[in-house]
Amino acid sequence: MIAAKPEWEFAGLYADEGISGTRADKRPQFQKMINDCLSGKIDYIITKSVSRFARNTVDCLDHVRMLRARGIGIYFEEQNIDTLQIDSELYLVIYAGFAQSESESISKNVTWTFRKRFQEGKPIFNYKFLLGYRKGADGEPEIVPEEASIVERIFNMYLSGETINRISTKLREENLQIPGKRFSFSASMIKGILRNERYCGDSILQKTVTIDCIGKVRRKNTGEAPMYYVQNSHVGIISRELFHKTQKELARRMSREPNSTKTATTATGKYSRYALSNVMICAECGSRYKRVTWTSRGKKRVVWRCISRLDYGKRYCKTSLTVDETALHAAIVRAINRFNEEDESTYMALMRATIGEAIGLTGGTDEIDLLRRKIDGLNRKMVSLINESVESGEGIESHEAEFKELSDTIELLQGRIQKLEEALASDQVNDSRILQLQQIIADRASKKMEYDDTIVHQMIECVKVYPDGRLDIIFRGGYLIEERPEKES
C-alpha cells in the first residue's frame, strides 16, 4: 500500500511482540508510535486490524480521537476503515467492541483452564520469585541447596527471636547473590517467605483473582472464587511443624498490641524493636511498658514506664514503677543466671518446658497414651456392635454406617499417634539444641554475661512490674524468679 503511493514516506514499523493489546500503557512500541505522532514524525498510520491496534474499546477510541484532532488518520485494512472519514467512528466502536469481547473471552478460557488445574490439585510455580526452587528435568520443582539453606536460616532466625527487620538487615549486609533471580531481602520479602506455605511442601491455589482482564487488575481472593489447599504438592524445604510454629509466632507477635489507643498510633510495629516491649506488664493496671528516653540538664537516661501512666497520668494507674533500663537488664541477667545454676537434671527439665515450644519439643507421650485409650474404647465399641448384630440376627450390614464411622475415627487417631511418635523421635536433636543454648548462656556467664534481646525472646514469657519494686520474671513453661532492680548509687 505504501509502495503504491510515491508521495508517501515510510516512517517506521512499530510492533509489540508477545504483549497483550488490552492496555496501551503496557505497550512500549505503541507508546513510541503515539509520541512520534505528537512530535510530527507521523501523519498517517496503517494497521492490519482493530484488534491489532487495541483490544480495549476505551483506549482505542481515545487514541483515535486524539490523533484525528491533530489531523492524523488511521487505516484499518481488514475492516476498511479510515478514521479521517466522517462515518468511521460508528464502525470503529462496533469492531473495537468485538476485539474487546474476544479478549475477555480468551481471558475467561484461560481462567477456566487455571481453575480446572487448581481443582485437580496442580499448582503453578513462578520460579523467578520463589527462593529455593527451580524447575526440574521432569517439569516438577526441585530444591536448590544453596538457596534452600537461606530459607531454612530465615525461619530459624525468626523462631530464635530475631525480628523481620533485623533478619532483612543481616542478609542485605551479606550481599547475597542469587543467579537468575532478583531478591532484595527486604522486610516485606522476608515476611512473604515466612508466610509462604510452599516452603513446607504445600500449596494454596487461587490466592488472587483477576477482577478486570482489560485493566489487568488482580486482588486478594476474599471469597470471589474457591481456594484449594493441597498438601504434599511438592518436596518441602522445611518441616510442616516448623512452618506451623512460625505462623503461630507471627500471629503472637502481631497480636501484641498496646492497651492504649492514644500511644499506639503505629500499633505493634512501634514496640517490636525491643524484646521487653512484648513481655513487660504493669501489675497494677495490666498495661504494657514502653521504653522512654528522659533528658535532664543535657544528660540522657533510658527508662521503662507503664503506657497507661504515660498517656493518662495517675487517672487509671496511680503507683506504677518507673524502671531504669540498666538496672532492669541487670535484674534479667541475674534471673537467667539463677535459672542456669539449677542442678543438671532440674535444669534440663526446666529448659525443655521453657523453650520447648519455641524450638519444637512435643511433649507428646501423654497425648499418645490418651489417644491409645480412645482407640481401645472404639475397638470395644466395635466388638460390642458386632455381638449385638449377631444376637439380633440383623446381620453386620445393618450397621454398616456405624462401622465405617468407627473405623474412620480409629484411622484418624492412629495417624495422629504416628505423627507424635515421629516428632518424639526428633527430641534427641532438640535436646542437643537445648545444650547449645545452655553452653551459650554458660559461656556468657563466664565472661560476665550481658543482656541479650535474643535470649529474652527465646526464654522469657512475661515480666510483671509491681509498685513496690518487685519483678516477677516468668520463663516460658511457668518457672518464676523474683528479682528487684538495684537502685543507682
Q: What are the DSSP calls for 265-327, one per residue?
A: TTGGGGTTTSGGGGTEEETTT-PBEEEEEEEETTEEEEEEEEHHHHHHTTTT-SSPPPEEHHH
Q: What is the pLDDT of residue 81?
A: 79
Domain assignment present for 260: no
Same domain, 82 and 172: no
Q: What is the pLDDT of residue 370?
A: 76
> Are 337 and 445 contacting, i.e. CB atoms less than 8 angstroms apart?
yes
Give the separation between CA 89 and CA 64, rounded to whole angstroms.
9
Give the separation between CA 230 and CA 94, rounded to whole angstroms.
45
Q: pLDDT by residue for the chain (489 residues), tens digit each?
A: 676 788 888 888 888 876 655 566 678 888 899 999 999 999 999 988 777 777 666 677 778 888 888 889 888 888 777 888 756 555 455 545 544 555 555 555 555 555 566 566 677 788 888 899 999 898 889 999 999 999 999 999 998 888 898 899 999 999 888 877 777 889 989 999 998 898 999 888 777 656 544 344 566 766 666 777 778 888 999 998 899 888 888 877 765 444 444 444 333 334 456 889 888 999 888 888 988 888 877 788 899 999 888 887 888 888 899 999 999 999 999 988 887 776 555 565 666 555 554 444 445 566 777 788 788 777 777 767 666 765 666 655 566 677 677 777 877 888 888 877 776 665 555 565 566 656 655 555 555 567 888 888 878 888 999 999 999 998 876 778 899 998 764
Out of 95, 116, 137, a domain closes at 116
Amino acid at site 107? S
Phi and psi at residue 74, to the nearest 5°: -130, 130
Helix, strand counts (H, E) of the chain? 15, 16
Phi and psi at residue 101, to the nearest 5°: -60, -40
- Helices of type H across 120-239: 145-159, 164-173, 187-195
Q: Which domain holds residue 489?
A: 321-489
Give residues with Cβ within 8 angstroms of 380, minimum separation 6: none
Bridge partners, 230 (sequence order): 203
Q: What is the pLDDT of residue 147?
A: 93
Nearest partner of 262 among 315, 312, 313, 322, judged by Cα = 312
Same domain, 374 and 465: yes
**Total domain count for the chain?**
3
> Are 60 and 67 contacting, i.e. CB atoms less than 8 angstroms apart?
no
What's the distance, CA 372 to chain centroid? 36
Same domain, 472 and 376: yes
For the chain, how far is it from start to end, CA to CA, in angstroms? Answer: 97
Domain assignment present for 4: no
Same domain, 105 and 178: no
Same domain, 173 and 144: yes
What's the distance, CA 125 to chain centroid? 17
Domain assignment present for 314: no
Domain at 62, CATH number: 3.40.50.1390
Give residues with Cβ within 8 angstroms of 129, minimum separation 6: 181
Give residues with Cβ within 8 angstroms of 249, minimum separation 6: 158, 159
Q: How far is CA 365 from CA 207, 273, 354, in A?
A: 38, 37, 18
Give the separation between CA 198 and CA 141, rounded to whole angstroms.
11
> Are 456 and 443 contacting, i.e. CB atoms less than 8 angstroms apart?
no
Bridge partners, 229 (sequence order): 204
Q: What is the pLDDT of residue 117?
A: 60
Give the angle subtended at the CA of 87 by the CAs of 75 and 84, to the nearest 5°: 40
Give the separation between CA 400 and CA 98, rounded to whole angstroms.
59
- Helices of type H across 160-199: 164-173, 187-195
Give the angle subtended at the CA of 24 by the CAs of 19 and 26, to the nearest 5°: 50
Give residues with Cβ within 8 angstroms of 203, minimum separation 6: 123, 197, 229, 230, 233, 234
Domain assignment present for 230: yes
What's the distance, CA 112 to chain centroid? 27
Same domain, 84 and 127: no
Out of 101, 116, 131, a domain closes at 116
Give the DSSP letter string of 79-115.
TTEETTSTTHHHHHHHHHHHHHHHHHHHHHHHHHHHH
Strand pairing category for 471-475 and 460-465: antiparallel
Same domain, 131 and 91: no
Same domain, 462 and 326: yes
Q: What is the pLDDT of residue 268?
A: 38
Domain assignment present for 261: no
Domain assignment present for 414: yes
Q: What is the pLDDT of residue 270?
A: 40
Domain assignment present for 296: no
Phi and psi at residue 363, to the nearest 5°: 55, 40
Four-point Cα dihedral 74, 80, 82, 87, nearest 10: -140
Same domain, 87 and 202: no
Same domain, 95 and 133: no
Same domain, 94 and 128: no
Give the separation between CA 245 and CA 242, rounded to whole angstroms.
5
Same domain, 70 and 130: no
